[in-house]
């Protein structure tokens, strides 16, 4: 085994299902097997996680894929380059809308995305106040909402003001009627639906390409200074991903997620059964992932170009996308 440049590691995450490979690797002592002493650090928001990663308080983190090109461009107001060599999840966001509004506006999960977008636009144009939230400006969740609304009307999609909330706060916000809908990863859509506040009306896979959503990220400098340590981190997480894809039963994984307060609602093989099996299936999808692709970051940069009016040419987009991958 190569000598590790660093063994004491602070690893940040947001409490979402797609942090599960990090949590399972820690639970199973896979990091220790690689010679690492990893401390898991639960962050309150993507902004907090990004800042603490950029300034070296965290060594590595469970990150939104779009944070990387935003950092390369300086759009995050920090301009400390981030890189990844490992995908943690691929295109697993969902859009939820208040159950009351779904009933009033005749919106259902069976509607094609362009139909539900048109119904929402008609409600807003008729004077209805609708507050929609995503998790972070630089995220596939933001771009999924924009792309969905653009199916009804491009100008409407570009000009509608969207709110930003940390993922764990989405359920509380829609319960308090502070927001009327949101785009977030699981388990927050399912929890809000089970508790009767909202309804899942579409998934990001219906409207955007199959690209990286979350990645294991470090700063570019950290990756250059700690190549063996980074390989050890990735090896442990990939071992955990293999488990998620191949374990016959996920009972222990489920217990871990409940113990860490990521799954916060009654859900089992005998209560809220459909939700239980849906979550199990999603966890399986966070098993073995492909390596990051330049095309993923090119697509994100194209979205930033379009929705944020950045005016990047194709050559610049390709160069920045390549810089995001170790």
Per-residue pLDDT of the chain (326 residues; tens, 9 = 90+): 689 999 999 999 999 999 999 999 999 999 999 999 999 999 999 999 999 999 999 999 999 999 999 999 988 888 899 999 999 999 989 999 999 999 999 999 999 999 999 999 999 999 999 999 999 999 999 999 999 999 999 999 999 999 999 998 999 999 999 999 999 999 999 999 999 999 999 999 999 999 999 999 999 999 999 999 999 999 999 999 999 999 999 999 999 999 999 999 988 888 999 999 999 999 999 997 889 999 999 999 999 999 998 889 999 999 999 999 99
Looking at residue 174, its pLDDT comes to 97
Neighbours of 284 (CB within 10 A): 14
Rounded CA-CA distance 185/134 in Å is 10
Looking at residue 76, its pLDDT comes to 82
Looking at residue 309, its pLDDT comes to 87
User: CA-based angle 182:273:165, to the nearest 5?
Assistant: 15
CA dihedral 256, 166, 58, 15 (to 10 degrees): 10
The closest alpha carbon to 83, from 68, 70, 61, 64, belongs to: 68
- Domain ranges for the chain, please list them: 8-90+212-323, 93-206
Are the CB atoms for 47 and 12 separated by under 8 Å?
Answer: no
DSSP 261-293: TSS-S--SSSSSHHHHHHHHHHHHHTSS-PPP-
**Architecture of the structural domain at 8-90+212-323:** 3-Layer(aba) Sandwich (3.40)
The closest alpha carbon to 211, from 49, 113, 88, 85, belongs to: 88
For 232, the token pair is 């050890």
- Ramachandran angles phi, psi of 39, nearest 5°: -105, 120
pTM for the full model?
Answer: 0.95
Are the CB atoms for 7 and 35 separated by under 8 Å?
Answer: yes
Please determine whether the domains at 8-90+212-323 and 93-206 fall in the same fold group of CATH. Answer: yes
Looking at residue 58, its pLDDT comes to 98
CATH number of 93-206: 3.40.190.10
**What DSSP character marks residue 169?**
G
**What DSSP character marks residue 7?**
-
Looking at residue 77, its pLDDT comes to 84
Measured CA to CA in angstroms, residue 94 lies from 87, 91, 224, 242, 279 at distances of 19, 9, 35, 25, 13
DSSP 180-247: SEEEEETTHHHHHHHTTSEEEEEEGGGTS-S-EEEEEEEEHHHHHH-HHHHHHHHHHHHHHHHHHHH-
Three-state SS for 157?
helix
């Amino acid at each position: 085994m190569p000598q590790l440049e660093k063994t004491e590691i602070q690893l940040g995450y947001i409490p979402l299902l797609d942090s599960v490979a990090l949590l399972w690797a820690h639970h199973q002592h896979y990091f220790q097997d690689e010679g690492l002493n990893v401390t898991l650090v639960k962050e309150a928001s993507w902004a907090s996680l990004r800042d603490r990663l950029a300034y070296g308080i965290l060594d590595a983190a469970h990150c939104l894929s779009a944070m990387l090109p935003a950092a390369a461009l300086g759009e995050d107001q920090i301009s400390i380059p981030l890189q990844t060599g490992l995908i943690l999840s691929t295109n697993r966001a969902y859009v939820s809308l208040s159950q009351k509004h779904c009933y009033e506006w005749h919106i259902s999960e069976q509607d094609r995305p362009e139909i539900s977008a048109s119904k929402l636009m008609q409600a807003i144009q008729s004077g209805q106040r609708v507050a929609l939230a995503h998790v972070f400006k630089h995220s596939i969740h933001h771009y999924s909402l924009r792309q969905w609304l653009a199916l009804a009307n491009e100008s409407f999609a570009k000009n509608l003001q969207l709110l930003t909330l940390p993922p764990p706060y989405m359920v509380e916000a829609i319960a308090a009627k502070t927001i009327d809908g949101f785009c977030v990863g699981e388990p927050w859509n399912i929890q809000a639906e089970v508790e009767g506040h909202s309804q899942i009306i579409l998934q990001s896979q219906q409207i955007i390409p199959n690209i990286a959503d979350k990645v294991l990220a470090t700063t570019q400098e950290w990756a250059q200074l700690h190549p063996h340590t980074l390989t050890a981190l990735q090896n442990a997480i990939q071992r955990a991903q293999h488990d998620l894809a191949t374990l016959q039963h996920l009972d222990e994984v489920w217990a871990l997620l409940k113990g860490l307060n990521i799954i916060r609602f009654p859900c089992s093989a005998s209560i809220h059964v459909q939700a239980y099996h849906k979550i199990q299936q999603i966890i399986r999808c966070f098993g073995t992932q492909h390596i990051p692709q330049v095309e993923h970051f090119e697509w994100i940069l194209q979205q930033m170009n379009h929705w944020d009016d950045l005016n990047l040419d194709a050559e610049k987009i390709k160069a920045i996308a390549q810089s995001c991958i170790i």
